Amino acid sequence: MSITKKILDSFSIRDTLNPKVWENPEDPKKAILKDKVQKALLRIAEEFIDDLGDDIFVEDIYLMGSLANYNWSEYSDFDLHVIVDMERYGKEKELYVELFDLKKKLFNSKHDIKIYGYDVELYAQGSTDEHHSDGVYSIMDNEWIHRPTKTHLKLNMDVLKKKIDSWTSKIDDTIEDAKSSGNVESLKKLKDKLKDYRQSGLNKEGEFSYENLVFKYLRRSGYIGKLFDEKTKIKDKELSIERKLEESI
């Protein structure tokens, strides 16, 4: 099976929630996290909260994403969102948003945590921030905030493939141009454009929008990684040249 077909197949809807993660996975009205999973996620979240600092106002800890829904696959991970009352920071709110985002990146890059083979990704999210996940589960209260519903996903695979091909071509062409010019600005612009593209799909049709599925494909196939890696390579090369020039003076 090709990697493309493998990823596209992973977008299918399952008959039940993930049985490794949930008790009564066939019925979301009765489904609760398995005890070992819930306790492990709490411990991991507490470690992350310690990293965020003593002045954080935690309201809840949510499990979101495909492992709280019917679209789980081998590419899934535990999306663990620490819900923070950002409004308490007043005028310093934006500063704390940036700080928590930086700490999230540092925590996720520093740790390689898995539960039953699935990665655990931590986020700090404002309590008033919009989300687009159908399934939302409170780790602290061990109950559903929003139960997922099993949908019949009607995808036109030809349309999806055309959109994917368009973006992979854009990424390949932009990387080649950036390599030739040594300029990372085009890579930054494409990254921002892709982010906006995904967000527009989430806003319109949620997590099963074509835009979000294209983004997931690009991430799972390594294309987004290529974009980031090339930006880092070019910047490192640029800085190395500048360093050599400084040393020669």
Measured CA to CA, the distance from residue 194 to residue 190 in angstroms comes to 6
pTM, to two decimals: 0.80
35-64 pLDDT per residue, tens: 999 999 999 999 999 999 877 889 999 999
Mean pLDDT of 241-247: 56
Cβ atoms of 175 and 187 within 8 Å: the answer is yes
Q: What pairing do the DSSP bridges indicate for beta strands 77-84 and 32-33?
A: unpaired
Structure tokens at 77: 């991970």
Mean pLDDT of 19-48: 95
Segment among 100-109, 126-135, 142-151, 179-188 with least mean pLDDT: 126-135
Q: What pairing do the DSSP bridges indicate for beta strands 118-126 and 114-115?
A: antiparallel
pLDDT for 202 beyond 60: yes
Give Cβ neighbours of residue 242 (< 8 Å, ≥ 6 apart). none
Mapping DSSP onto H, E and C, the string for 82-121 reads EEECHHHHHHHHHHHHHHHHHHHHHHHHHCCCEECCEEEE
